[in-house]
Structure 1
């Protein structure tokens, strides 16, 4: 019995040994390579662009005010109406102005009649003086009669001068009353669109309050503020791409003006960009995004923005050396589009990780799967 148990134990030990001998030794774990995309840093010309936003304003915004006070007789336009220069916007009651105009016209007519009578009197006095002068020379009349004729001529000349002055005075009065009468008709000073009507028939208006606002829509403007660092590089006439958010549309604007001095409160310089608006789609108050060119840096080292990492205000990139990632501190400059300027820390031709740089660490082995500007590996 003991011999049987020993035999079985021996067989079990042998079986375990044989099973162990059949397994292979575990292989050493291979180091994982991080796939990355790279580019070689090179020199480029960078166009500097100021990306900012502004509010659209009308090309012209005119608060139309009457020149005289009066009661509104009729409002001729509604909000949204297109109007042209000289078009009647509203009419004031004009009975008093009409009566004054009629009176002034009559006064002028009377003064002109008096002038004509004075002129005729001067002609008669001149004839009488000439005749009496001949008679006096011939000693046919006395000196008193001659002097009387001379005095009549002087009086007639004075009467003409007085009548001429009265005509000028009457004409000035007529001009004033004519202006007052005309001012009862309020007209638009520009071509544009009625933006506001703040009066109804029967209400009183005065030169101190605007009853109607007209805006010019054929062209609109954007006003933005820029710093002293870039204002010198902005020139009138420069073309500016402008995107109107509400319309999802980009138009080309033109720098209309650059303020010659800074605002004392903001220390910024105002720049106005004019936008074409023939269809009238661009409305005042819309928000616009614009890319304003502020100069060019020639032949500077540049990298894609994604290649640069920022931590606590410090910038760095990962370069590839001997198949491993190496972190390098850099100093950045201006950004233009998808590129950013590298002022120091790198040399031209070095290989920089663009994609995958957030997955690697110092000294980690990497596998370049694509070199930007080259073929996939």
Structure 2
């Protein structure tokens, strides 16, 4: 009797379980609603995203140059505005001034020697005239010519030495002029370090650092693949993690044709990553970021109209991309071939048609054949 009761209870439990499963499936069927989109012709922008560092477009460092002498004066202070050609540092070199004075004396002495040789040649010509009267032209010439040739040779050597002394004078004057070190840019004095003017170190520090604070650039590197797409003149959007609510614009103004670290990358190191330096110039100098800030640059490499759908509709399985479409109330998985991604859009080259209803944001548990209802 008890066995019969247990059998009845078991059958009832199975019936209840079956009914519950059907109810659960029915409830799920009613709740599985989806939003869809369709393939459309849309303008997309291909881009390359790389990091970069903000720097002055023009800056100049002045280090101690002991070969010029000792630093006599630093003629600027921090915050000064300077123009190209402004004397920043003046060196003192007594030895050069002594060499200049000695050279001047040598030139004066040589000029006297040349004048004396010219006078001797003139006197020799007079002597020749008098001798012609006494012994005739032929004998006079025979007597005078050797002496004249010797004087002309000495005169020629004296002229050469005089020219050498003048070249020496120009060299000394140039060295003295270089004692006044001048700025090669317009800019602002950023730092002045008096101690570096006399310190001797294996890692010298600049005495003066100039920078053009009104002109900033961003420097970065691109891969060999991206170097085929990035060109001068392309537009760039710039962002900073430090200032997340701001963005700036600029343009690519330089793309190197030679990879960074030329000797290493072109000297047979096959495993070395090849990277090409680039430079971005900002459209506006008004930027809260400071030189040294790390920035993210999004370079627009091309702009075209393609068939695209929102990226959120696309799923990836290894190297394969796929979407789910709705056909006769069921989810259908379709593999697609994609192109470039631009913002929230992804190019679709093949796999679906414009009439297909593509499910947006499909869940990871969605499977082909699942009953779906379009919202």
Instruction: Settle same-fold status: TM greater than 0.5.
Output: yes
- From the superposition, tell whether residues 128 and 216 of structure 1 become closer, same or farther in structure 2 (CA, over 3 Å): farther
**Aligned partners of 1:201, 1:74: CA distance in 2, in Å?**
13
Query: Which residue in 2 is equivalent to 1:229?
Result: 225
- From the superposition, tell whether residues 116 and 229 of structure 1 become closer, same or farther in structure 2 (CA, over 3 Å): same
Residues 249, 283 of structure 2: 8 Å contact kept: no
Render the CA deviation track for 1:253-307: whole Å, top value 9, x for unaligned.
22412334576264233141231477475643122322223446764x4211122
Matched, 1:335 2:334: no
SS at match of 2:57: strand
Provide structure 2 residue ranges, at least 5 long, that are not aligned to the other structure.
Answer: 1-22, 266-270
Matched, 1:160 2:158: no
Query: Which residue in 1 is equivalent to 2:52?
Result: 54
**Aligned partners of 2:302, 2:212: CA distance in 1, in Å?**
32
**Aligned partners of 1:202, 1:347: CA distance in 2, in Å?**
73
Query: Which residue in 2 is equivalent to 1:109?
Result: 108
Residues 236, 258 of structure 1: 8 Å contact kept: no
Q: What do you get for the CA RMSD once the two structures are aligned? A: 3.8
- Answer with 320-329 or 338-347: which moved more: 320-329
2:235 to 220, 234, 239: 239
Render the CA deviation track for 1:42-97: whole Å, top value 9, x for unaligned.
34454321122211233355444538242211112234544333321211223332
The aligned runs of 1:67-78 (5 Å cut-off) are 68-78=67-77
Query: Which residue in 2 is equivalent to 1:124?
Result: 123
- Answer with 196-205 or 121-130: which moved more: 196-205
Residues 257, 271 of structure 1: 8 Å contact kept: yes
- From the superposition, tell whether residues 228 and 118 of structure 1 become closer, same or farther in structure 2 (CA, over 3 Å): same
Residues 36, 359 of structure 2: 8 Å contact kept: yes
2:278 to 272, 277, 293: 272
Provide structure 1 residue ranges, at least 5 long, that are not aligned to the other structure.
Answer: 1-27, 369-377
- From the superposition, tell whether residues 279 and 316 of structure 1 become closer, same or farther in structure 2 (CA, over 3 Å): closer
The aligned runs of 1:1-377 (5 Å cut-off) are 32-33=30-31, 36-44=34-42, 46-65=44-63, 66=65, 68-133=67-132, 135-137=134-136, 143=139, 147-200=142-195, 203=198, 211-215=207-211, 219-243=215-239, 248-261=246-259, 264=265, 266-276=272-282, 279=285, 281=287, 283-295=290-302, 299=306, 301-310=307-316, 315-354=321-360, 357-358=362-363, 361-362=366-367, 363-368=370-375
Residues 250, 283 of structure 2: 8 Å contact kept: no
Residues 244, 287 of structure 1: 8 Å contact kept: yes
- From the superposition, tell whether residues 251 and 67 of structure 1 become closer, same or farther in structure 2 (CA, over 3 Å): farther
Residues 50, 221 of structure 2: 8 Å contact kept: no
Residues 34, 360 of structure 1: 8 Å contact kept: no
TM-score, normalised via structure 2 length: 0.72
**Aligned partners of 1:109, 1:338: CA distance in 2, in Å?**
83
Residues 48, 301 of structure 2: 8 Å contact kept: yes
SS at match of 1:32: helix
**Aligned partners of 2:256, 2:36: CA distance in 1, in Å?**
43
Query: Which residue in 1 is equivalent to 2:14?
Result: none
Residues 319, 327 of structure 1: 8 Å contact kept: yes
Higher strand residue share: 1
Render the CA deviation track for 1:18-53: whole Å, top value 9, x for unaligned.
xxxxxxxxxx99863555432211344543211222
Q: CA deviation at 1:130?
A: 4.0
Higher helix residue share: 2
Q: CA deviation at 1:179?
A: 2.9
